[in-house]
Amino acid sequence: MAIEQTLSTRCCIAGGGPAGMMLGFLLARAGVDVIVLEKHADFFRDFRGDTIHPSTFQVMDELDLLEEFLQVPHQETQYLNAQFNDTLIHLGDFSHLKIAKPALGFMPQWDFLKFIMREATKYPTFKLKMGAEVRSLIKTKDRITGVVCQTPGGPINIQAALVVGCDGRDSLVRQLAGLNVIATGAPIDVLWFSLSKKISDPDKVLGYFAYGKLLVMIDRGEHWQCGYVIPKGGFDKIKSGSLNQFKSEIVQIAGFIHNRVDELKSWDDIKLLSVAIDHLEKWYTDGLLCIGDAAHAMSPVGGVGINLAIQDAVAAANLLYKPLMTGKPVPNVVLNRIQHRRSFPARVIQRMQVVIQKGLIKRRKSNVDRKPPLLMRLLNALPILRRIPAKLVGMGVRPEHVKTPQVIEG
Ligand SMILES: Cc1cc2nc3c(=O)[nH]c(=O)nc-3n(C[C@H](O)[C@H](O)[C@H](O)COP(=O)(O)OP(=O)(O)OC[C@H]3O[C@@H](n4cnc5c(N)ncnc54)[C@H](O)[C@@H]3O)c2cc1C
């Protein structure tokens, strides 16, 4: 492959999702030269997960960007509610979090990423290459010293003191680096589709449980983004039935959508998103680090993967900006510190996801109308308990704070 161009940077980030864009922004803001490579030509892909956690609002506040960020169209809620058969169940209460914006936000992820991009590009040390897909790693004497990426203009070599894999749950970077992946597996997949929203729709419910099934409905302003939890690999079986049968199944769970399920014209309107849970035994090797889903692929259960990705980025930037400024290779002890700091919060949440997923599948198999699980009933009965899931989902286990300076005026 004839290399068209060779660039050099302190930090090369593979992947422009929440982890990669936030890390790139924070490092550039601290004066570190950084290049983010994103394989897609734009951020405009649906069903990427749209939750903005209280911890992310808090990061924006610490960056003095909260006010501007809140101008981006979004929805907010302070309460997490679900409907179990006909009963409304209160599960979480964010209003007690002692932070600048104690709420859960819903914003299309492309708008979130575009906001970060807009802020990051104010710093001359930030470079973003869209349509740039990392294909291989450059190794010099057993150390990763850069990447080769494919761009519309041809392949580019990027030399870097550190490569950070933020390329998500199917990370090529972690595979090329030979990092050992420990798969926990996941017994569920999710079918995503959109349905229009009507003024009369219930607006305080995020999940509908009925007949052992779960339909999540995220308020996107104009429409609902719906996620229907199915057993792993079960989409083919569902498709072997008729589309009308599928529509009846989801109407059974959330009756009010009966007058718009015909918006689903074919199976093409329903996207299968495969769910995985795994983690890396070691998040780094000489010259390379992985964070976000590349280090610990998250299930959508609890909607916390973006939170963790952003928190990883904040922690990594806090620990990396000084060593990166020296221009020397980043010592493994620093990379180990990042893993040490962030692996515990990720594992705690993954364990919680595994337990909930098992419960979901068990209930689905039983296919009966039972009373809500004990935990749901407790949360519903005791308002004070609702602060616990709100804190866990909203802030994560070990909330991070921005410690990177703003060395150049953006
Ligand atoms: C069905 C489903 C629904 C979910 N819903 C939610 C939700 O509502 N809320 C929530 O918090 N979490 C949700 N999650 C989890 C969440 O999506 C992830 O945890 C989160 O996106 C991780 O962020 P990330 O930046 O690490 O990786 P990603 O968001 O996966 O971003 C990786 C980026 O790297 C790019 N990339 C990949 N390979 C390369 C390459 N070789 N070169 C260059 N670029 C590359 C990709 O295009 C992508 O932009 C969901 C997960 C699933 C499976």
Domain spans, the chain: 5-50+108-184+277-354, 188-231+233-274
What average pLDDT does range 370-396 have in this prediction?
A: 89
Which residues are near ligand 1 (CB < 6 Å)?
14-20, 37-40, 49-51, 133-134, 166-169, 172, 190, 273, 275, 292-294, 298, 300, 303-307, 309
Whether the per-residue pLDDT at 204 is higher than 60: the answer is yes
Residue 373 pLDDT level (bands cut at 50, 70, 90)? confident
Substitution site in 39, 45, 137, 301 for ligand 1 pocket (most atoms within 8 Å of beta carbon)? 39
User: Could you give the CA distance from residue 203 to residue 8 in angstroms, rounded to a whole number?
Assistant: 50
Please compute the mean of the pLDDT values over residues 153-174 and round it to a whole number.
96
- What's the pLDDT at 45? 74
Q: What is the pLDDT of residue 7?
A: 93
**Closest atom of ligand 1 to CA, residue 307:** 11
Residue 14 CA: nearest ligand 1 atom is 43
Q: What is the mean pLDDT of residues 321-343?
A: 97
Instruction: Band the pLDDT of 372: cuts 50, 70, 90.
Output: confident
Residue 130 above 60 pLDDT? yes
Query: What pLDDT sits at residue 53?
Result: 94
Residue type at 221?
G
Q: Report whether pLDDT(367) > 70.
A: no
Query: What is the mean pLDDT of the segment spanning 35-58?
Result: 90
Say what percent of the chain tops pLDDT 70.
98
Residue with tokens 């806090």: 318
Tell the residue nearest (CA) to atom 31 of ligand 1.
17
Considering 42-56, 322-336, 395-409, the range whose residues carry the highest mean pLDDT is 322-336
pLDDT of residue 219: 86
Pocket test for ligand 1, best of 113, 167, 342 (most atoms within 8 A of CB): 167
What is the structure's pLDDT at 371? 82
- Distances in Å between the Cα of 216 and the Cα atoms of 206, 251, 304 are 6, 13, 14
Nearest ligand 1 atom to the CA of 274 is 53
Position in ligand 1 atom list of the atom nearest CA 19: 25
Least confident range from 33-47, 52-66, 156-170, 256-270: namely 33-47
Q: How far is the CA of 136 from the centre of ligand 1 (A)?
A: 20
Q: What is the pLDDT of residue 153?
A: 92
pLDDT mean over 188-199: 94
**Confidence grade of residue 368 (pLDDT, cut at 50, 70, 90):** low
Average pLDDT over residues 11-23: 98
CATH for 5-50+108-184+277-354?
Answer: 3.50.50.60
Query: Using a CB cutoff of 8 Å and minimum separation of 24, what contacts does 247-253 make?
Result: 249/213, 250/215, 250/226, 252/210, 252/211, 252/213, 253/208, 253/209, 253/210, 253/211, 253/213, 253/214, 253/215
Nearest CA to ligand 1 atom 37: 167
- pLDDT over threshold 80, residue 366: no
CA of 168 to the centre of ligand 1 (A): 5
pLDDT exceeds cutoff 80 at 249: yes
Atom of ligand 1 nearest to the CA of 304: 11
Residue among 306, 307, 353 to mutate when testing ligand 1 (max atoms within 8 A of CB): 306
